[in-house]
Structure 1
Amino acid sequence: MKPYVAVALLLALFSAGCATKKAADKEARSEAKNTAIAPLPEPKPGEAVATFAAGCFWCIEEEFELLKGVRDAVSGYAGGPGGQPTYEEVGSGNTGHAESVQVYYDPKVIPYDTLAKAFLMAHDPTTLNRQGPDRGTQYRSVAFYRTPAEKASLEAAIARFNASGEYKDPVVTQVVPFKAFYPAEVYHQGYYRAHPDDFYIMSVSTPKVEKFKKHLADKLKPELVDNQ
């Protein structure tokens, strides 16, 4: 293949990827979907809660759901002022919110340090306001800490990640105090598993999930891995 043809093909594929997310969003809205706000689960005795933003929440929710010790991961919005937003409002990039995931977990099974590591492995934390074809502040990388210990854990995890050379650029993740989490609409919950044939899921999300599984192989729920 001639070099200019290869470049043109790569540009076409990248452009298709950019359009795919928009198409997936449009399809998700146009179908008969449950647009009610999803309920937030109550933490069970002994459980802790963590909140992260790492790009499109369809993929990030699935990644955290794979981890041993995680009972539930809820897609939603965090990081902006005001009250409960809609998906369309957050997608405009004007609310200050980022697509986020709230994780309900057993710290005796999976400590926060492991969640911090998993969060960094779940996406590319070196790209500012962007994850792959998705661009905008709503796709920024943010770790929301609830305690000084969580902040220290996140900062240590970032330092280790930078030292690992996983990416050539440094981590740009925001480490900020947790204020509020707003659950997304019902139709966004479990979207990855409900739409395995969606082109965006297959071309963008699945490669990220597979990479995540390789990096965190010893932390995964065997029953979920076997069913993938």
Structure 2
Amino acid sequence: MKTIQISFLTLLLFTSISCQSKTKNNKQEMGQKEQKETLKQMAPSNEELQKYETAYFASGCFWCVEAIFESVKGVKEVYSGYSGGKKKNPTYEQVGYGRTDHAEAVEVYYDPNVISFPQLVQVFFGSHDPTTLNRQGPDRGAQYRSIAFYKDDTQKKTIEDYIAKLEAANVFGKPIVTQVKPFEKFYMAEEYHQDYEKKHPNNPYIQQVSIPRLNKFKAKFGSYLKEDTH
């Protein structure tokens, strides 16, 4: 009986800090039509985008990944969403319950005059464990797999060369399982996921997983940080 109680408490704790933990109020915060309109308003205008490039990465819960890339100098904006699969317009519930082959991903708008794509690749590999298959921290499932997306052969070579460098130096002590995939389509996640860490600093998952992960990254990449995020 004691063993069963301990197991139940462990499961309860795990559930409480999972990226999938949501309240019904969050899920139903706004209707689909309102969601789409809000996301349109959030997206940068074409005029704003002219000086920025985009890069796409997946490395676990997008709440964490978004916060990490937003702390990097030269990054204008980061959006949470879904990529790497074939289903059109996936929802969080579909992705979270494995009904699509998408991963939680981020879209990074960056100024190439301030931060380069190779440096963003360094940020990507330096801010998560690329050796855990379909898992990142307490989050398990293919939607949390590690993916570095490329838009051309130059970016593909940059990613593959960096992986080879990390493995030659045995940086992680285990083989890197990150997928290197051509970028096809990014679907922006529901509005309530955007800037989640910033909006919900007291959320148990944010407190116990996301913030420690961000702080660990900051300690290693101080020279890459925006002045107001040191």
TM norm. shorter chain > 0.5: yes
Quick one: structure 1 residues 14 and 154, their matched pair in 2 at CA, closer, same or farther if it must change by over 3 Å? farther
Q: Does 1:59 align with 2:60?
A: no
1:112 aligns with 2:128: no
1:213 maps to a residue whose letter is K
Deviation at 1:97, TM superposition (A): 0.4
Match of 2:17 in 1: 20
**In the alignment, is residue 188 of structure 1 matched against residue 175 of structure 2?**
no
Q: Do 1:18 and 1:134's aligned partners in 2 also have CA atoms closer than 8 Å?
A: no
Aligned length: 218
Task: Provide the residue aligned with 1:216 in structure 2.
Answer: 221
Q: Which runs of 4+ in 1 moved over 6 A?
A: 8-11
Unaligned runs of 5+ in 2: none
RMSD: 2.3
SS at match of 1:126: coil
Aligned twin of 1:205: 210
C-alpha spacing 1:28/1:143, structure 2 compared with 1 (3 Å): farther
| Residue number among 164, 173, 176 corresponding to 2:178 in the alignment | 173
**Whole-Å separation in 1 of the counterparts to 2:6 and 2:116:** 44
- Measured after TM superposition, the shift of residue 118 of structure 1 is 0.3
Contact map agreement 2:16 2:204 (CA 8 A) in 1: no
Pair 58,22 (structure 1): closer, same or farther in 2 beyond 3 Å: closer
Residue of structure 2 aligned with 1:97, choices 82, 94, 102: 102
How far did residue 165 of structure 1 move? 3.6
Task: Tell me the distance in 2 between the aligned counterparts of 1:14 and 1:163.
Answer: 38
| Matched residue, 2:90 | 85
The 1:23–1:68 alpha-carbon spacing in structure 2 relative to 1, beyond 3 Å, is closer
- CA deviation after TM superposition for structure 1 residue 30, in Å: 5.2
* Unaligned ranges ≥5, structure 1: 1-7
The aligned residue for residue 69 of structure 1 is: 74
